A and B are shown apart, each in its own frame.
Chain A
């Protein structure tokens, strides 16, 4: 039985070799900038296809019976490294102001009272962490679109950048969305969660809710909203802390 055995052994060797080649090859391809660029171009397909079939569709909303009993906080649980935020927290955020600037006609400084004075939207939605877990919470706040209308975007504005008080080491957290998501009816700046004030660990005094994207887009401890024509030139240029540092997709609809 020499021949069949040698063939079988050969095939086994080929299979084992192919397996280790696959592993080593994938890691090598994973490091190649050209291959990464090709793989990452799928992000544009995700954005285009979801916008095409979804339009301005609303994210599913739930009832209070669906609320997570214990909503896991993700990212930073405080912004203690930011003296401004600490001072505002100690004063109950009474003197805190949300700065809206950049490519706007009228820069704004909005107190929590002013934000609560705007028409409010309350929504019970699901928060999906990029890691895979989900939690359902109730959020209340003004629509971002109303604030942007009050500030009046200049024609060159394409992106809204959310500058946050928290940081990972020396790198401040920030996130960004485009105008389609900025003017989506469910995109709100939440100052309340589950009927009470937004807890510190969930981003007090104010966090973004952009309900058709993953958790890392839901910027917490928002201090300033900046309208920009491009994301280039800001920090790593990819539009967010995780995008800059870990190659997470800027469009987090999947």
Chain B
């Protein structure tokens, strides 16, 4: 078992899939000679050549639209959007078009494509290099949305996403890229989409979360254990489809649920998870379901105290845990 970073896991997943399947290719900005601004495709141009590693003009709508056309005609494109903040021009091609390919052609066509983008804040990225975009895509049936937290998950989930027969939005938290390291098996493996993972077992409180927040939640859970509060941490891994069974199971076990996500709280993933819990596990609840999400400002500001005000950290999560424990 090698210990690698999230970024290396993503690179490995793409390299392995490109070696295994010549229908897989990558297109995006600066992915060729530069190897991507985060170096996710470092070395790919020399291994796979210009035909399969396509440096595109700075034109995100067509990156998505051309990838969609290639997917509908038999290839398996990975389209990289340099930062998730630049993903909005693709909404028309992804939410408007890709999501509806299968439904709108009665299954005659499908779109096996992956749209990858680094997202999230806490990196001094300000309004336009910190956004979280999962909720916008997760709203639409026809799409799948993956938000990995660890190298093991990132690699296994990305390989499944590339092999999936439907469009997948794969959102990598850029803070995890080099910060989060973990063991990854030497042999081939995949992780199915739509399966959550219990990252820490606990008895008193369930935290449901995903992406970078998994790590802050684990830290907060550790702090809580010093005060004899036992916290379970469920990593959703895929925010569409949601793993209903795992969500309901953890709620049934603890009766108290905290949902933590960096994206704007209102109408976010946590809102849906909360609604599902109240509908399907109401009688198991010992306290209201609490969401801890991004505040009601449109994006994350630049200056450190302002950024900290937006960003959720272990301390804020600890406070929420204590309040919920005392309920």
A binds B: no
